[in-house]
Structure 1
Amino acid sequence: MILQYAVENDILNLDDVRRKIMRQENENYLKMHEKHHKIWFDEKANQWMTYIDDPSTKRGIALKRRKEKADLDNLIIEHYRAIEEIPKVSNVFYEWINLKFEYGEISPQSKTRYENDFARFFSDDNLICSKNFSEITALDLEMFIKGNIKKHHLTKKTYGGLKILIRGIFKYARKKKLTDIVISIFFDELELSKNIFTATEKKSDDEEVYNEEEIPLLKDYLLKKDSIRYLGVLLVFVTGMRVGELAALKPEDIQLNRKGSFIHVRRTEVHYSEINAQGQRKNVVAIQNFTKTDAGNRHIILNNFAVQILQRIQELNSAPNEFLFEENGKRIKIKGFSEALKRTCKKLDIPFRPMHKIRKTYGTTLLDNQVAETLVANQMGHSDVITTKKYYYRDNKTTEHKQAEIERALSAI
């Protein structure tokens, strides 16, 4: 009633209101853009420049330039206005993922993984990628999922990555009233035959862990090298640490005393990519000041041999800049430890398995020696022993050992 009275008596001009609303919307578009892309003036080209999101390009962005700043601003505004009016899957995805990252809901490496998965699964030749979002039907989505499973030979496990993206995109789209599809109900009703998935080929125990004959050879060689990175590899054999956790250790994380020695694991090395102001995708290696999971923040109990290794490491890096593992004042990264292990295996003529397989060897060794399952899970940084036993327990006995066990068991027959 008040608004109608104001309009009828020329107290309020609706055209002025519309202009003010549009100006505010335009300002919001520009602010939103500058959160993700820099706007700069190139003196050599004598033009204003910026990048805008463009999923159709290989890098996911496109360079835009105008002589006048106002013209570039208008181009940016029209870009975002068009997205709001006719959004596609790619528009919704990038808006969703950027918001999650902005509010700290996902880490940089998770953002990179989601972006890589999106580029892999949501290619331009998919029907739902070319449609306006509001026109995507449940049948379109079902065909899209089945097509990707077949095209990329997805296993039940790798299908999980696609499912996470679809859930996030469609939940966010429903909040924006862009779709009537309730994604939780859609997945409850979706029927996928087990035959549609590619069977996972289980790796042999020999590929997953170092065996009981190889471990002493590795131990002796790594000790003789007496190098800080080689001793770091050896430390994983007696602590079960993730190599990213190893690379992020600081001197204050180590507690060596008579009452009990331990390592406090509380950070890890991470890898992700980001786009700089020039639109170039750059790989980043950084230290994340929290562990991979909540259970990963733990105190690893050390045996006497682990204490001896750490004492020697402290001697070799007696005046660290910041990290426990440094050479020439620079932190040793994951790659440095992996290369040391690779060279060791080559020298000893032992099949190379990555650093993570040492972690599995550690878990196997503890369980084989009847260490309490809850303690094993704590040492590994798992929330429960089920994970440890399912993914980290393998048979690392030699063929001769296995034959002897069978012979002994069947000796009464």
Structure 2
Amino acid sequence: MKKLTERDLNYVIDNGIIDTADVLNQIENMKREQILKEHGDRIRETKGGYYFRIQDNTLKNGEYRRRNKDRHVLEDLLVEYYKNKEKREQELETKENETFEQLFFEFMEYKKTKVAHDTVRRMMSDWKKFYVPQKEFIHKPFKQITKIDVDNFLDDVVNQSEGIQNKAYCNMKGILKQTFQYALDADYIDRSPYRDRVNKKKITPTRKKDSKKEVFTEQEHKLLLTDMERRLSKTPSNSIPLAIMLDFETGLRIGELLALKETDILKDKNNVYKIHICRQVVKKHDMSDINNIKGNIWTVADYTKSDCGDRYVPLTPKALEYIKRIIDINKQNKVYNDDYLFLTKEGTLITESAVDSQLRNACDKVNILRRSMHKIRKTYASSLYHKGVQIPIITKLLGHADEATTMKYYIFDVYDAQETDVIVLNALSSTDNSNNTTSCKKTVTNGDNKIVMFQSRKKVENLSKFKVSHS
């Protein structure tokens, strides 16, 4: 008798010669009959009905038990159990030869549902840079990878001719650790081969960045303000220069800055104007293909980067002046969009790239080192610190979760070389004049008198909307 080929089967299905639904139903019935034939004797009749008990060490209590008055219902449960068991065994058998690369992509499909899209993008970038070149390692079945394999892989990475920074190394090895932890949690393996025994002397320590590249000096700030005013006089309908000027007064993340609304500006019971940071502009990414992540859609999210990001920032007189000018520009342009401050002449939100681009162009214009908007945020933090504001307060103003982040990554020297020399010489002269007596006194400046102690992050009481008057 001639056997049906795949082509024959496709022909009879496509032409409706056989009913596929009926065939599938018959297959399921045959599977049911086979399972009951092999395991049906596990069902025992007892007083008041039927029950079965199956030893299964994969379950929490070590067994699978069910009881019911209706034998047919219990048969359904028994069949379902053995179908699921067969499916699990097939999956485990498939996992035996699954490579580390395949495991990683399975893990990333899970990971992308738990973390921010930018985290996934960074991990994929590290994967392509550090893992893809290591073909032998990533193509090895992950169940066969040993601790020695892990040692050799990590050694190969740190022995690269160009070297590796400590932060980059920590991010890179985190992929390895988390992928095996996923396999452990999914019960694919009993123990993880991950460990870190590389020679740490081969890893370049992450040193604090050069202040010249991270913050603007006071003189550079003045040069930029002058250039921003020049741009405003040349193009009065463009509020981007005011966005840059406002950020020097508030230290906001650029996404928070561009998501500001007029209704976010409030006055507390002490008549202090503050701005409520409660949303941000974010980029949406297409994560359907994590090997080729695309992100070109900007949207406003009604949440901040973290819980600590939801905060109130006090506004200086300059900040209030800039905000009034921004509102005036929108009125002159006859644009309105749900109270947002930073709008184009078409009424859409100004983009991050447009602001960053104008800042970089201004840096070129005044002949200073190019820096991004985030460097203004660091300048804001550093300026507060050098004027005597305590780290815990700066941390709250920046919306950071911990003080260590603020101190390590946001506090830099805001003085140029000449100003630094004067400060040091004055300090040494002061020491000499005190007859070698150590002094811990601090000169009080007008700036110190203006420092306001901010409350802990609670909802500001008795807030009233910030009103803008137009003559």
Output the TM-score relative to the length of structure 2.
0.66
Q: Among 299, 318, 321, which residue is 2:337 paired with? A: 321
For 1:381, the aligned partner's letter is: G
- Residue 253 of structure 2 is aligned to residue 217 of structure 1: no
Give yes or no for contact 2:283–2:296 (8 Å, CA) kept in 1: yes
* Structure 1 residue 213 displacement after superposition: 1.2
Would you say 1:303 and 2:313 are equivalent positions? no
Q: 1:344: how far off?
A: 1.2
Distance of aligned partners of 1:345 and 1:172 in 2 relative to their CA distance in 1, 3 Å threshold:
same
- Give 1:197 shift: 0.6
Residue 5 of structure 1: aligned partner: 41
- Seen in structure 2, the aligned counterparts of structure 1 residues 313 and 295 have a Cα distance that, compared at 3 Å, is same
Q: 1:399 to 1:280 in 2, by over 3 A?
A: closer
1:247 aligned residue: 258
Which amino acid counterpart does residue 316 of structure 1 have in structure 2?
Answer: I
Is the contact between residue 101 and residue 139 of structure 2 (CA under 8 Å) also seen in structure 1? no
Q: How does 1:67-106 map to 2 (within 5 A)?
A: 84=95, 86-102=97-113, 105-106=114-115
Mapped partners of 1:367, 1:208: distance in 2: 15
User: Could you tell me which residue of structure 1 aligns to residue 151 of structure 2?
Assistant: 142
Consecutive unaligned residues in structure 1, runs of 5 or more: 29-77
SS at match of 2:218: coil
Gaps spanning 5+ residues in structure 2: where? 1-35, 44-71, 233-237, 434-471
Tell me the CA shift for residue 353 of structure 1. 1.5
How do 1:4-23 and structure 2 match up within 5 A? Answer: 4-5=40-41, 21=83
Q: Which among 151, 172, 179 is matched to residue 169 of structure 1?
A: 179
Rounded to whole Å, the distance in 1 between the matches of 2:288 and 2:188 is 31
What residue is the counterpart of 2:242 in the other structure? 231
Measure, in 1, the Cα distance between the counterparts of 2:93 and 2:258. 46
Identify the residue that residue 362 of structure 1 maps to in structure 2: 380
Aligned residue identity for 2:298? A
Pairs within 5 Å for 1:52-131? 84=95, 86-102=97-113, 105-123=114-132, 125-131=134-140
Determine the C-alpha separation between the residues in 2 that align with 1:144 and 1:250. 51
Say whether the 8 Å CA contact 2:96–2:141 is kept in structure 1: no
Fraction of identical pairs, as percent: 27
1:52 paired residue number: none
Return the alpha-carbon distance in structure 2 between the equivalents of residues 146 and 286 of structure 1.
41
Q: Deviations over 1:38-92 (max 9, x none)?
A: xxxxxxxxxxxxxxxxxxxxxxxxxxxxxxxxxxxxxxxx9x9985453222222
Measured after TM superposition, the shift of residue 302 of structure 1 is 1.0
Q: TM-score, normalised by structure 1?
A: 0.74
* Number of residue pairs the alignment of both structures matches: 351
Q: Is the 8 A contact 1:127 1:140 kept in 2?
A: no
Deviation at 1:210, TM superposition (A): 0.7
Task: Work out which of the two has the higher radius of gyration on C-alpha atoms and give 1 or 2.
Answer: 2
Retained in 2: the 8 A contact 1:83–1:91?
no
CA contact (8 A) 1:208 1:360 kept: yes
> How many angstroms apart in 2 are the aligned matches of 1:177 and 1:337?
49
Provide, for residues 172-194 of structure 1, a one-character-per-residue CA deviation record: whole Å limited to 9, x for no partner: 111233334336xx44xx33322
Give the secondary structure class of the aligned counterpart of 1:299.
strand
How far off its partner does 1:366 sit?
0.6
Aligned to 1:312: 325
